[in-house]
Every structure is written in C-alpha cells, then in structure tokens.
C-alpha cells in the first residue's frame, strides 16, 4: 500500500466508510450515514457531494411522507462503474466486463489445448481483457480487474506461487499485468474467491465460520474464520485434497509425494491417474449400476465423510459448502451420505453443522469481477496499522 499522511489516510477511510454503507445498506440518507459513522452532518455532506461529483453515488427520488419530505435516499451509481473479471482455467481464459449491478456488458474467451509457458498464459489474459475494454465509455469508470486462478496464490503480494496447469511457478502476475493495464488488479485462488463472495452476499452470508470445498479436476478448500479468509502461514491452508484418507490396496501415491491422499481417488485427476477412467465415464458407470464403480464410490464417499467429520470436530465451523464437477455430477448420491457420515462421526456439540452444495458451478469470471466490486468498497484497515 502506498504511503499516505495520517490526515489523507483518515479522509480516505471516512470516504470508504460512507461508500461502504451506501453500497451495503442503500437506500440510506445523509442523516443515517452521520448516525452510523459518528461523523458530523457537514463532513458527511462534503463527502457525499464529492462522491456525487465523481459519479459514484446518486440521489434517488425521495418519497413524500405524511409529515413533509423524507430525507433523500442515496444509492451507488452502479451503471457508471465497471469491473473486469477473468477466469484462468487449464484450457481457457474467459473475461467478462460487468457493471456494479452485476450485469454482463461484454465477454471474450480464448481456448487452448495446453498452456506451455507462463508468458503464453499471460498473453491470453491480456488479449481477452483488451478485447472487452473497448466497451467502456470512459476509462475512469473501470474500477479494476479481478483474476480467478486454479492454484496456489499469494493474493497480497500478487504472485501465483504454483499452478502447473497454467504453467506458473512464483509468477508475479499482478506486476506483469500492471505493465499493460493501469487499473487496480486483484488475484485470488478460485476456491478462496468463491468463499469470499459467498460469505459477503451469497449462500454463506449468515455464517461466521465455514469451509468451502471444491471437488473437481483436483480438490481445493477454503477456510473462513470469523468472516475472514484464513490462508495459513504460507498460503496453503485448506488443502483438503491432501488429507490422508485411503489405506491398504486403495492407497495410491499422490503427486505431493505422500500416499493415500483424498485427491488420489476423490477427484477427476485422481480417477484418471489411478483407475484410468474420467469422472464422466465413472459417473455413467455408476448410473448404469456398475458393481465395481458403485463400490468404489462408496469407498470414496466414506473417505470424504470421515475427513469432513475430522475437520468439523477440529475446527467447529457452522457451515460447509460443497462444489465442483464431482458434486455437480454425483451430488444427489454423495451429499446425503456425507451428511449422515458427518453427523454420526462428530461429537454432539458439533452437530449443528450444516452441509449444502452447489449443483451448477457459478461463473468464475463474474465472481472475479465481484471481487473488484468488494475491494472497491472495502474500508482498508491496514492503513491504520503500524506496519
């Protein structure tokens, strides 16, 4: 974060507090803003005037009450603010331009067989973003670019630590993108991103402590503790796929070097490597009543259930959100069984845990755009810290 004087910092924080309240609780009046922020009426009026001049906030027509005019409600001018969201997946880059109400204004997509070099993946993002930037009337109306990435991401430093599918290792993605785009740029791991957005205004809105687990080509996990993302000391917290879950003849060697990790069978890549079947093929054989596959699915479900039970006992979350292709294709069979296993395996004191799942994957490029919107309204507490 750039250095600012304490007065500038305070001014910025007050403005962000006002913006944040208008975004989250609009329509809201100037009087209510003053009450909620403990700022004087005059300070609120000055800030609101500035925000209106910049086209960030607008007045909505006030409704006449029984006793004269009611205070004028303020709302975000969301049709004049835009964000770009990018999803970088193993076989494509998809970019969307959205306004701050979440409407998609423009989109572009680049497909590839395989990303061979990190610079090639970067060029794909640059092309996809450049293509849709043309639809923005004024450059100043674009508030940032968000990027969703499958892999280990240090979002604070803007570095992709490891993403074999995207050919990135310790890749300074934010720095590289800043060479082309003069906008705030945010990057986040795909599962963390889903957790952040679902916790803000989605299905996990009313949960304080929760886990988001994605069973897909690999397995990813995210931990939310008191509404904050917990990333651990080296950004690898939530690696649910490497929990030891299989033993004996079912313990296959994992790409991490260990044996019997959950991901060796409970993900698409695990099934391909160890059973030589894709998730889609495996699903149809289960649906056709294949004995071997049904038995294997039971083993996998049981392993996930026991692992979930252990994590719930250890962390005491209030909700778990399951997502990814495995859940999408087999959720109707797997999720009810998981609920039963988890509720049987955890101590009575943890049994209030709620398990739910997403049947259809959410669009990650839109989630990445929503990350920009969230960041735009965040009140930056680090500006106050001594570091």
Which residues have a Cβ under 8 Å from the Cβ of 342 and sit 6 or more positions away?
305, 308, 309, 312, 353, 355
φ, ψ of residue 146 in degrees (nearest 5): -115, 140
Q: How far is the CB of 239 from Zn ion (least distance, A)?
A: 8
Tell me the closest approach of the beta carbon of residue 256 to Zn ion, in angstroms.
Answer: 3
> Could you tell me the two tokens for 327?
């859940």
Burial 127-155 (b: 16+ CB within 10 A, else e): ebbebbbeebeeeebbbbbbbbbbbbbbb
Measured over the CA atoms of residue 49, residue 54, residue 55 and residue 57, the dihedral's sign is negative
Pick between residue 253 and residue 356 the one whose CB is nearest to Zn ion: 253
Residue 154 CB, shortest distance to Zn ion, in Å, is: 21
Q: How many CB atoms sit inside 10 A of residue 281's CB?
A: 14
What lies within 8 Å, CB to CB, of 232 at 6+ separation is: 238
Facing residues of 152 across strands? Answer: 162
Q: Closest CB to Zn ion among 253 and 287?
A: 253
Whichever of 254 and 353 has its CB closer to Zn ion, that residue is 254
Minimal distance, residue 257 CB to Zn ion, in Å: 7
3-state secondary structure of 349: helix
CB nearer to Zn ion: give 133 or 262: 262
Which sign does the torsion angle of CA 335, 339, 340, 344 carry? Answer: positive
3-state secondary structure 30-51: HHHHHHHHCCCHHHHHHHHHHH
Least Å from the CB of residue 215 to Zn ion? 15
Contacts of 72 (CB under 8 A, 6+ apart): 29, 30, 59, 60, 62
Identity of the residue, 110 or 252, whose beta carbon is nearer to Zn ion in the bound complex: 252
CB of 240 to Zn ion, least distance (A): 11
Closer CB to Zn ion, residue 51 or residue 243? 243
Residues in the site for Zn ion, rule: CB under 5 A? 242, 254, 256, 258, 261
Nearer residue to Zn ion within complex by CB, 243 or 355? 243
Q: Which is nearer to Zn ion, 128 or 261 (CB)?
A: 261
Nearer to Zn ion, 205 or 258 (CB): 258
- Structure tokens belonging to residue 254: 């994992």
Beta-strand (E) ranges in 79-124?
82-88, 92-99, 104-111
> CB 270 → Zn ion: shortest distance, Å?
10
Q: What is the smallest separation between the CB atom of 258 and Zn ion, expressed in angstroms? A: 5
Kindly report the number of other CB atoms within 10 A of residue 21's CB atom. Answer: 18
Number of Cα atoms under 13 Å in the Cβ half of residue 62: 14
Contact 162, 121 (CB under 8 A): no
Report the nearest approach of Zn ion to the CB of residue 222 (Å): 18
Nearer to Zn ion, 165 or 331 (CB): 165
d(CA 86, CA 145): 8
The single residue listed with the structure tokens 């803007």 is 158
- Closest approach, Cβ 165 to Zn ion, in A, equals 16
The span from the CA of 206 to the CA of 356, in Å, is 14
């Amino acid at each position: 974060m750039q250095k600012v004087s304490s007065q500038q910092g305070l001014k910025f924080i007050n403005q962000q507090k006002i913006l944040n309240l208008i975004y989250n609780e609009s329509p809201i009046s100037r009087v209510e803003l003053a009450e909620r922020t403990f700022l004087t009426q005059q300070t609120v009026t000055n800030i609101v005037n500035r925000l209106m001049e910049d086209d960030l906030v607008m007045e909505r027509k006030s409704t006449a009450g029984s006793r004269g005019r009611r205070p004028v409600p303020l709302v975000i001018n969301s049709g004049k603010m835009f964000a770009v969201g990018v999803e970088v997946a193993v076989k494509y880059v998809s970019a969307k331009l959205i306004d701050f109400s979440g409407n998609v204004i423009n989109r572009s997509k680049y497909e590839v067989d395989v990303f061979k070099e990190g610079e090639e993946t970067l060029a794909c993002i640059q092309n996809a973003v450049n293509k849709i930037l043309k639809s923005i009337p004024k450059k100043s109306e674009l508030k940032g670019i968000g990027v969703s990435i499958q892999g280990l991401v240090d979002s604070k430093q803007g570095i992709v630590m490891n993403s074999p599918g995207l050919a990135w290792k310790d890749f300074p993605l934010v720095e590289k993108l800043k060479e082309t785009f003069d906008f705030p740029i945010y990057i986040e791991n795909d599962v963390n991103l889903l957790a952040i957005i679902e916790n803000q205004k989605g299905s996990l809105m009313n949960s304080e402590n929760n886990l988001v687990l994605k069973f897909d080509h690999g397995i990813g996990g995210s931990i939310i503790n008191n509404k904050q993302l917990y990333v651990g000391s080296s950004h690898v917290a939530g690696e649910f796929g490497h929990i030891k879950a299989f033993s004996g003849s079912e313990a296959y060697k994992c790409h991490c070097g260990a044996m019997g990790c959950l991901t060796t069978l409970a993900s698409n890549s695990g099934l391909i490597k160890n059973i030589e079947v894709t998730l889609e093929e495996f699903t149809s054989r289960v649906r056709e009543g294949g004995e071997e596959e049904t038995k294997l699915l039971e083993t996998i479900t049981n392993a996930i259930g026991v692992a979930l039970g252990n994590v719930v006992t250890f962390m005491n979350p209030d909700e778990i959100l399951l997502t990814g292709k495995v859940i999408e294709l087999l959720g109707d069979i797997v999720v009810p069984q998981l609920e039963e296993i988890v509720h049987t395996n955890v101590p009575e004191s943890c049994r209030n845990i709620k398990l739910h799942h997403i049947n259809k994957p959410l669009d990650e490029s839109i989630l990445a755009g929503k990350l920009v919107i969230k960041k735009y309204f965040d009140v930056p507490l680090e500006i106050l810290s001594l570091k």
